[in-house]
Amino acid sequence: MAKKRKIFKRIILLVFVLPIIAALVWAALLLFSHGSPSDDYTHHLSVLTYNTHQMGMYEKAYQNRVIRFLQKQDADIICLQEVDVYKNEKYLTLPELRKALEKYPYTYFDFKIYNKRHQYGLAVFSKYPLSNKNTIRYSSRGNISDYCDVAVGKDTFRLFNNHLESNRLELKDLPDSIESNALKQSAQRISDKLESARKIRQVQANAIRAEIQQSPYPVIVAGDFNVTPLSYTYLKIRGGQLRDCFLATSWGRWGATVVKRHIGARIDYLLCSRELHPVETHIDHLNCSDHYPMTTMLGW
């Protein structure tokens, strides 16, 4: 009888407890940094990604906190999302933005919204030549991805800049009372928005992964995925080939890139092919946007 009990306990352990432990370890490896980087490399490249929240909310270049931050960082490549520039001289214009970051002679602007009033989309500023510029278009109101090739000396990398579908949750989605009907309606609205955005992001992630697989060069993937590392979107884009630069460059950090109501999550990413090695990654807690900028140093 005692022997049967031991066998039963082992079966319970194998069937129930060990899978839970394995799932917790897997989640921790995706959520908390756990790398031990070295810096024994001949070549280096610094890459910055930043969702600018409409480029500092229309501020002119001379007072624009986002632009001033970018000027001080002096990264080799800057990938921006939610770039918003206007035709009206009262607000930030595209020529002003170009002038403010003129130390980057190579640029790639890819606008999802382009009309008589303003342009809204993605931007890449680079100290190295850019070529083969392409857009990955989605049936989305304001989201887009693109890629281009970056020539760094004798080496070429394919750079992806992404702004994926947002959940578009707003204050009006919250219940206006604690009555059961109001709570149910609010829960349904939020559930519908989350499900709709999830389906759109899956399509976007599949499209990005397909382009990554076709790349003839090592890739660098940057941008706002609008989801955590436990999501299908992140796992699909990263695949089994790409390094997560944040996870690879420190131990035990949470790495929130967006904080709302005192809750932080990492939804902005820098990924790279195995041929590249993340040396250092940092997140600047800059209150110019609803996101924080992330910068990584790559070595090879």
Nearest to 34 by CA among 277, 220, 195, 244: 244
Q: What is the mean pLDDT of residues 192-201?
A: 80
Indicate the range of 61-65, 205-209, 236-240, 257-261 predicted with least confidence. Answer: 257-261
Confidence of residue 170 (pLDDT cuts 50, 70, 90): very low
Q: Does CATH number 3.60.10.10 belong to domain 38-299? A: yes
DSSP secondary-structure letter at 231?
S
Q: pLDDT value at position 263?
A: 83
Mean pLDDT score, 152-176: 80
Burial class for 221, CB neighbours closer than 10 Å (0-12, 13-18, 19+)? buried
Average pLDDT in the 104-120 region? Answer: 95
What CA–CA distance (Å, rounded) separates 90 from 93? 9
Predicted confidence at residue 52, as pLDDT, reads 97
Q: Which residue has the higher pLDDT, 198 or 148?
A: 148
Amino acid at 77: I
Mean pLDDT of 115-128: 96
d(CA 136, CA 131): 16
User: Which of 39-48, 49-58, 172-181 is predicted least confidently?
Assistant: 172-181
Question: For the chain, what is the mean pLDDT?
Answer: 87
Q: Kindly report which listed range (72-76, 239-243, 259-263) carries the lowest average pLDDT score.
A: 259-263
Average pLDDT score over residue span 209-236: 97
Domain residue limits, the chain: 38-299
Q: What is the pLDDT of residue 190?
A: 66
Reply yes or no on whether the pLDDT at 180 is more than 90: no
